[in-house]
Amino acid sequence: MWVNEDDFPAPKNKTTAEFLKELRDKLEVARSYANSHAESAQQRYVVHYNRRSCKKSFTVGEPVVVLQKDSTASKVFSHSIGSAVIYEVQSPYSYVVEFADGSRRILHANHLQKFHTRAQSSTYNVSLLSGTNSCANINDSDEDFGEFVCLI
């Protein structure tokens, strides 16, 4: 059945018990080598993974972007679901998210990203700003900028 089946000599100087004991010892050495290699490889994988990973945490009421695909049939034309608000924290990495239409879903932190709003820029007519030499944009989160006077 096998090609050159008779080329493998049977061990004539060992008993079956001795052969099995030697085989068990060799397998034990191979197992210990495999375990030590697996531990060192696992440490390399952990270090490589943790290089770019970061912990994500969100608070209730915080705006987030949902990073899952929408329900379109095509992978080419699908987009992320969009923005939402954290409604409830279920566990350190599991959140109930409320969308603009009022629906709620439980999502893992890996599918969420903080939503940062940009400061809105405004253009002013310089003739309306008589008596001032400069103009600045004021954001809602600014607190210590002094008294604000609107000339419009």
What CATH fold (topology level) applies to the domain 63-114? SH3 type barrels. (2.30.30)
The pLDDT assigned to 116 comes to: 81
For the full predicted model, state whether its pTM sits above 0.75: no
Report yes or no: 112 and 67 within 8 Å, Cβ to Cβ: yes
Q: What is the pLDDT of residues 28-86, one digit of tens each?
A: 999 999 999 999 999 999 999 888 878 888 999 999 988 887 666 666 665 677 789 99
Where along the chain do its domains lie?
13-50, 63-114
Q: How far apart are CA 90 and CA 82, in angstroms?
A: 21
Q: What is the pLDDT of residues 82-101, one digit of tens each?
A: 789 999 999 989 999 999 89
